[in-house]
Structure 1
């Protein structure tokens, strides 16, 4: 028996600003609006949820990695929305990935990457 899906929940102090970023900029589909939590479909069976909290610790050590074949497209789209890129797209030979980094409105680090490693196969 296996699991049907995966959801990561993260806290936010500003659900409206978070929703604008993930819906309008990253174009993620809103899967469920629970008023104080919003859950986004990232990929088939993969979800990301943000829940409104009064106190949120500074996010450290968390990287949200979005895998795509077209990292450069996302860099251009983010530039259109004036989203600062922390690290421009670059090939990382250690992990055989092409990646860039940015931060969401909550300060969470987002990595947009493409696997170049022929051993990677995300499809079952």
Structure 2
């Protein structure tokens, strides 16, 4: 495979009964930039090359599930800062910050309006964290 055959970006899709509450969460709570609004589907830029797509559950290829096995992880420089910010903005199901020394990460979890799990993670080893810039 040549470089021009590689994917240009990645979009992970999530399906919602209430598209507007999901849009508000990703735009206002997480600060993702809207790239495309297709009416019943929206695509947000999370970072360079990484995107989240949200879809109305009655229009898309799949339907919202009562329990999802998906975990969206956002890699950040300062977990404590993100935790304080999300707490101040009323994020749902916000866990305490956890440190996992064996894998050198600090993290916490929350849920988006559709019940999808989101992990906010900081690599404690700077050289590992640098790989995600």
TM-score (norm 2): 0.85
Match of 1:21 in 2: 25
Return the match for 1:80 from 82, 88, 102: 88
Alignment of 1:1-124 (within 5 A): 1=3, 2-54=6-58, 55-118=63-126, 120=128, 121-123=131-133
Q: Separation in 2 of the partners of 1:8 and 1:111?
A: 15
Runs of 4+ more than 6 Å apart:
none
Q: How many residue pairs were aligned? A: 123
Higher radius of gyration, 1 or 2: 2
Between 1:1-10 and 1:105-114, the stretch displaced more is: 1-10
Question: Cα RMSD (Å) of the superposition?
Answer: 1.5
Which consecutive unaligned segments of at least 5 residues does structure 1 have?
Answer: none
TM-score (norm 1): 0.90
Q: Separation in 2 of the partners of 1:20 and 1:99?
A: 23
Q: Which has the higher helix share?
A: 2
Q: Separation in 2 of the partners of 1:34 and 1:94?
A: 43
Which consecutive unaligned segments of at least 5 residues does structure 2 have?
Answer: none
